[in-house]
Structure 1
Amino acid sequence: MCGRDVFGAIAQDVDTLMKTTAKFELAANFDFTRRVGQKYFVSNKLRGSFQEAVEFCSQQGLELALPHKDQENRILTQLFGDVDNVAWINVNNRAVANFQSDMKNQRLTFTNWEGGQPDESIQDTGCTTLLHNGYWRVTRDCSLNAYIICQI
């Protein structure tokens, strides 16, 4: 291996380490932090409307949580202390109809819809909640006071 290759590899390792350290530092600022693979879910256990949730995460330089596999979905429910609690997740029909994409128009690769969901009768507006049992449910009431969970 020539010197240039070694330095390039070292520079790449340092860059990866710096990005990982930045994630740790950011995650440490929250009351609730759970790591799944390379992703962190964070929350201060604040509640708000869907719009407030999106804005809060954005102001932190993050985005609203969206599980991409069953393990992530289960980890998110650890925030709940009571059976009746819900949290917002990064899916609504404003970006693409039928709740098949996230807010960046990326096709969902994982879903955990409750029976009868997504509710196709909700066409003009609707936001998605994660229920305490891990199922996803669409609601017309995007002003619902639900937990705000962001992802790093």
Structure 2
Amino acid sequence: MKCCIQRADSAYVEIDGKIYSQIEKGLLVLVGFFNNDEESYIDFMSKKVCGLRIFENDSGKMDLSVQDIEGELLIVSQFTLAGEVKKGMRPDFMNAMHPEKAVRYYEKFIEKCKNILGESKVKTGVFGAKMKIGLVNNGPVTIILEKQEK
């Protein structure tokens, strides 16, 4: 499981030319699942995302989480995070989890985050939809989190 987390002043998902969901201050979380991911990874990663201390305190030090600042999450599925480009120039997505299983993992990840932050603090994209993502990245701050089989 891999998450690309971006600290945001604002972010939105657009589908078919219309804003589907949006957040103000918080995190844009792009999440991808791999064939060998275990369901237990979801609990680990949701706690890590919600507890990640990448917002500045009064001293300007990154010391606060999205939960601490009462920020929001915008969670978007992105299977291309499982892409490999070890050979050639075209990404290989053979390690990406099959969509029927990945959608269940995605929904469970969203629910875990809602349990931590509250229902109203978590917005999403639509699994498998063609989306446009808008982001005002504050910093910029971008963190990649991975949980994989050892």
With the length of structure 2 as denominator, give the TM-score of the two structures: 0.29
Pick the structure with greater CA Rg: 1
More strand by share: 2
More helix by share: 1
| Higher RCO structure, 1 or 2 (CA under 8 Å, sep 6+) | 2
